[in-house]
A and B are shown apart, each in its own frame.
Chain A
């Protein structure tokens, strides 16, 4: 098909179309809505053979999606932010059904205060549900990840749902050139889904999602989900190799940028990683051996890859576009947990940035590199802090005055 200028949302829709999904229950929410509108249009004009329904809430939507998956249909759904939280209960439920639903979450800051800009508290809220999580930096990656998500989810060694995440606005509404793969090639990468474990058929009755009483039995089922999720890291290598062979693009579980001889590392996820990469490039020009590590998978957590990539580095700064109120950055905690037992572990710094879509400026990246270098020199790591500039403080001060705050 060649390259087209596509938004992240259209790229996601293309992924769904090329995966020849059977069923899409939907519910609108900004900034995700363009995905479902695009799919609805294709179904209406006959360019996509699927069933589409607008549900009455995200809770119902995720239920319908999971139930269709449990019936044996290849199913897609998508939401954002409040919508994801409204359906939260069903995220856990559907994961427990062990069905290969693929969902796109278009990240948006959580209420309250209600807002529109992106950050990752929504997707990280469902971190422990059993859904695998792939976080994307580019529109191309969104399309490709939807295809890889189905391969991974439907693999009988995994059979867990997958959530593909992109930033609202900065990816969802941003157009860039995206290669739209050929459908025949997609078919060779992603064969038709033929469920062996979860379906509804007259000839083979099955009770799914049943109650499990007793901690010892419950533990078994929950831990099997964990083992399946961990398996996904191995299986993904096959998926990744096949994808590269067929489409010529390669996505590892972690994305490493200028990491080889790097000493000072930024850890970031999603679209702002591009800003981080630019900052690394500039730092290199200034003679700082900088690098960037972007985990693409947050669940399963690519522990050994991260350990390996950060071995011997002087300092690592985690920029969390999220905040666990009362603790700080979520990914910082995860990284700390990952590295703690490493003998040759780097110093670990924590910064909260980009909440609600707040920009992370060149100045702020420079500040981070300075902090890493000084921590490395002195061995003293300063406590976690919010990236916030003087002009931003002036801005909010003005607003407070208008709001009548003394």
Chain B
């Protein structure tokens, strides 16, 4: 059995990608199962989806904790302590990363020892579809790595996307982009073994008084520990030469994470800024520009 785990951000299309792959496998004669994981998090937050593909009956349910293939649709997730896309990846497994970097560069950048495949599907999407929607492209990539036939992928794209994309032209572009990704990747052999189950102790839960065992929180204002800054695709960057310190950005930030420095100039708490960019949109003098997160990483020290 092949177990795939898709890691994306809310709104990027990880769920649809896992469904397209599931349907493609089904159309290709496999047994398949796909499943998204909904948490409390919203658009922009890390999310996961799963697909299982097998010649035999699939006697599994729930989360894939030991994937053979991991599809990382957003590179920033690799350094996200909550997403942890590589966790549980089996020996001999494959990591696909959506990045302009080469596999070797990616391995070095993120310290990955497993087999890495890369393609900048965001760029493909922007070039071929005109916007960044990654579901069909990720499905194309995953289908190739999982060894699914091209016809099955085509069928699955039609079946899954026609329900959500009414514009035939857009659907066609999606299919083209997916097939481009499919055919750009070189086929690979997934060389993972079936999982050997590890032993874990089952314990007897001890009683604790309601003071500690009721679902109440005595800490206050501790959500910054969650560091939602990793939801960001673009970051706001201020140009203090233009900024008039008018306070609009400080006031308009839904998160309340723009503060003032000693000189009264605004700066963002990048640990928590979700990158909605209301600040940039609302800035009356356009002193805030949006910078693709991946490119600005090296600039972090300069801020």
Using a CB–CB cutoff of 8 Å, the interface residues on chain A facing chain B are: 96-98, 156-157, 159, 196-198, 204-213, 220-221, 223-224, 227-228, 231
Contact = CB atoms under 8 A, between A and B. Distances in A.
A367 to B, nearest CB: 45
Nearest to A158: B210
Contacts of B208: 224
A196 B216 contact: no
Nearest to A196: B211
A210 B215 contact: yes
B216 A198 contact: yes
B286 to A, nearest CB: 39
Given A157-B209, A209-B215, A210-B216, 18 more contacts: A97-B214, A197-B214, A197-B216, A198-B214, A198-B216, A205-B220, A207-B217, A208-B214, A210-B215, A211-B40, A213-B40, A220-B205, A220-B213, A223-B205, A224-B213, A224-B214, A227-B206, A228-B213
Contacts of A220: 205, 213
Contacts of A208: 214-216
A97 B205 CA distance: 20
Contacts of A227: 205-207
Contacts of B218: 204, 206
Contacts of A206: 216-218
A225 to B, nearest CB: 8
B251 to A, nearest CB: 25
Q: Counting chain A CB atoms within 10 Å of each CB, which of B211, B213, B214 scores highest?
A: B214
A223 B208 CA distance: 10
A223 B207 CA distance: 9
A129 B72 CA distance: 42
Contact of A159 (B39, B40, B209): B209
Nearest to A207: B217
Interface in B203-251: 205-211, 213-218, 220
Contacts of A96: 215
A197 B217 CA distance: 10
Q: Counting chain B CB atoms within 10 Å of each CB, which of A159, A207, A213, A224 scores highest?
A: A224
Contacts of A231: 207
A97 B210 CA distance: 9
A221 B215 contact: yes
A205 B209 CA distance: 20
A221 B214 CA distance: 7
A96 B206 CA distance: 18
Contacts of A211: 40
Contacts of B209: 156-157, 159, 197
B207 to A, nearest CB: 4
A159 B210 contact: yes
Nearest to B220: A205
Nearest to A213: B40
A207 B213 CA distance: 14
Contact of A156 (B210, B216, B220): B210
4 A-B pairs closest in CB distance: A159-B210, A224-B213, A98-B214, A98-B210
B210 A197 contact: yes
Q: Counting chain A CB atoms within 10 Å of each CB, which of B40, B208, B215, B218 scores highest?
A: B215
Contact of A210 (B205, B206, B213, B217): B217
Nearest to B217: A207
Given A213-B39, A227-B205, A156 B215 contact: no
Interface string B165-207: 0000000000000000000000000000000000000000111
A191 B289 CA distance: 64
Nearest to A218: B215
Contacts of A224: 205, 207-208, 210, 213-214
Contacts of B215: 96, 208-210, 212, 221
A258 B211 CA distance: 43
Contacts of B216: 197-198, 206-210
A156 B213 contact: no
B228 to A, nearest CB: 16
A211 B215 CA distance: 8
A159 B215 CA distance: 13
B224 to A, nearest CB: 15
Nearest to B218: A206
Contacts of A223: 205
A198 B210 contact: yes
A206 B218 CA distance: 5
A98 B211 CA distance: 9
Nearest to B213: A224
Nearest to A205: B220
Contacts of B210: 98, 156, 159, 197-198, 224, 228
26 contacts: A98-B210, A98-B213, A156-B210, A156-B211, A159-B209, A159-B210, A159-B214, A196-B211, A197-B210, A197-B211, A197-B216, A198-B214, A204-B218, A207-B216, A209-B215, A209-B216, A210-B217, A212-B215, A213-B40, A221-B213, A221-B215, A224-B205, A224-B207, A224-B214, A228-B207, A228-B213
A170 B213 CA distance: 40
A182 to B, nearest CB: 31
Nearest to A100: B210
Contacts of B207: 224, 227-228, 231
Contacts of A228: 207, 210, 213
A220 B214 CA distance: 10
A182 B220 CA distance: 44
A150 to B, nearest CB: 16
A213 B39 CA distance: 7
Nearest to B216: A208
Q: Counting chain A CB atoms within 10 Å of each CB, which of B206, B210, B211, B216 scores highest?
A: B210
Contacts of A209: 215-216
Contacts of A213: 39-40
B181 to A, nearest CB: 33
A157 B216 CA distance: 17
A157 B206 CA distance: 13
A160 to B, nearest CB: 8
A163 B6 CA distance: 48
Contacts of B211: 156, 196-197
Nearest to B221: A205
B222 to A, nearest CB: 10
A386 B206 CA distance: 43
Contacts of A97: 214
